[in-house]
Chains A and B, each alone.
Chain A
Amino acid sequence: MDNPLHPFELHNFVHLSLFGIDVSLNKAVLMMWVVIAVVAGLLLFAAANRRLVPSRLQSLAELLVEFVRGIILDTMGEYGLRFFPFIATLFLFILFSNLLGLIPGSYTVTSQIVVTAVFSITVYVISLVLGFVLHGVKFLGILVPPGTPAWLLPLMIPIELISQLARPISLAVRLFANMTAGHVILGVLFGLAIAGGALIGWLPFAFTIAMYALEVGIAFIQAYIFTVLTCVYLGDAVHLHGHESHAH
């Protein structure tokens, strides 16, 4: 094992250039198409013949939709439901790219920081624009926690500014690092199992199976966390110290 990050390197299959922008095909691009096809196919197929007594597939789709709806209602309240399409798309894309990436031989799109950074920066820009549209200049009050005495302001404003700016970074790095680290750990353990041979190799192999189960859980939890934090950040912009945004 010279370099545990080797499986994450991307090599272009086809070199394409569109108006000077690199749009080459590689494993990550193909995997994104697969994820989109699976999500869209699943939901379209589940919604194709709706019944009052749902079939199994329809129950699954209803479960997913109700789950995202519950997250939004818990963190943002009724107002948040107008962001439902955006948040549900984000959740389903991240969830399915995490889960499909666990299939051996496929590729985890979310283990590229550029993908997660685009998501988190988009979420952050939306929350900023939303805050300034809804509250105008008063939105700058997000830098001052309610009840701060005036003499603490020179200290609190820089701290709050840093914590605001850390939001998109931590959101992106959390998902990227979890996915990358999980796959590196699986790779290292499996390498140990092969190197150990039949005599002792079963021990790391058993660990590999246990870690794989944990990774399936992590794939779900990370998609959930990303969605919850997206809702919390958007909710902060909507309510601005409102009583409904104390979910974190």
Chain B
Amino acid sequence: MDSAASALLGMGMAAAGFAGAGVGIGYIFGKMIEAVARQPEAEGRVGKYMWIGFALVEAIALYGLVIAFIIMGLRK
């Protein structure tokens, strides 16, 4: 396999990490809905932590993107 093709494959594989973040974000929002359905008055307090958790999980997906960019910068 030539190196250009393997670099492209590597970029794709780095981006595949988004799957895990998708699971994580779905889990966060699902649990939030569950929590609010059980105890609607807790929405304000729980919501703050939901957004923090959402941003933390989303950032982990973006580390994969950063790795893809690093590979893109290296392949020339």
Binding site for B on A (CB under 8 A): 5, 170, 173-174, 176-178, 180-181, 218, 221-222, 224-225, 228, 248
Interface 0/1 of B31-66, CB less than 8 Å to A: 000000000000000000001101110110011011
Is A170's CB under 8 angstroms from B59's CB? Answer: yes
Measured CB to CB, the nearest residue on chain B to A224 is: B51
CA distance A176 to B69 in the complex (A): 13
Is A178's CB under 8 angstroms from B62's CB? Answer: yes
Measured CB to CB, the nearest residue on chain B to A175 is: B59
Taking the closest CB of chain A, its distance from the CB of B68, in whole angstroms, is 10
Taking the closest CB of chain B, its distance from the CB of A229, in whole angstroms, is 9
Is A225's CB under 8 angstroms from B69's CB? Answer: no
Task: Give the interface residue-count category, chain B.
Answer: 10 to 19
Taking the closest CB of chain A, its distance from the CB of B67, in whole angstroms, is 10
Is B56's CB under 8 angstroms from A173's CB? Answer: no
CB contact under 8 A between A173 and B51, given known A178-B58, A178-B59, A225-B56? no
Taking the closest CB of chain A, its distance from the CB of B57, in whole angstroms, is 11
Is B52's CB under 8 angstroms from A177's CB? Answer: no
Query: Could you list 19 examples of A-B contacts with CB < 8 Å?
Result: A5-B72, A173-B59, A173-B62, A173-B63, A174-B55, A174-B56, A176-B66, A177-B59, A177-B63, A177-B66, A178-B58, A180-B65, A181-B62, A181-B65, A221-B51, A222-B55, A224-B55, A225-B56, A248-B52
